[in-house]
Amino acid sequence: MRQNKIFYAVVKYLFKFLLKIYNRCSAHWLEKFNPDEKFIVACNHVSNLDPLVVGCFFPRRLKYFAKEELFHNKLFGACIRALGAVPVSRNDNASAAGALRGFMKLYQEGSDVLIFPEGGRSLDGKLQPLEGGVALIAARTQAPILPAFIKGSYEAMPTGSSIVKPKKITLTFGKPLRFSEEVYKSKEGRGIIMAELEKTMKELAALN
């Protein structure tokens, strides 16, 4: 366990250093981070760099989905696994459903989780329609959602690219979305959560 923590710390701060130097990467918070809350972090997704960026700048270790192809390179796979990545096949609905259930369990056991609610990378760098998995997890766990938005990772490493360009990257963490128990448990709750998240994500996009 201690070795895992050491490897996580080494990987996190190495990638964070590289991102700061090479991509002038920075993170901004619209509300001070509350260490006593566990979050579902919901972020836009435009590049394979996104999990690294969020994982490096979020104060705690996150658990998140990552397509299984990213683990084919053993070194890179080990690094993102250290940062909390869990491999999942997008073509395997049973695997995706199992991962959702697993993430609910991880959250309930004390882990923050990272979700890319668009369901996949944007091909043009713009925010795509959101899928409902994040609302399902939030409703079942009654968790606050921390919206996040990345700008610049698409220019640094767009879909299909294997090279990282020295483009500036910024990460903005919005104000957490907290809902009442009534909303979490109501039939309309997931729709309310998704509408509020989509509105907030668009506002974060406009800020950037």
CATH class for domain 2-207? alpha beta
pLDDT at residue 2 in the model = 53
pLDDT of residue 204: 95
Question: What residue ranges of the chain have pLDDT lower than 70?
Answer: 1-3, 89-97, 99, 208
Condensed to tens digits (0 to 9), the pLDDT of residues 126-181 reads 999 998 888 988 998 899 999 999 999 999 998 888 899 999 999 999 999 999 99
Which residues, 6 or more positions from 168, have their beta carbon under 8 angstroms from its beta carbon?
A: 23, 24, 25, 152
Q: How confident is the model at residue 19, as a pLDDT?
A: 96
CA distance linking residue 72 with residue 81, whole number of Å: 12
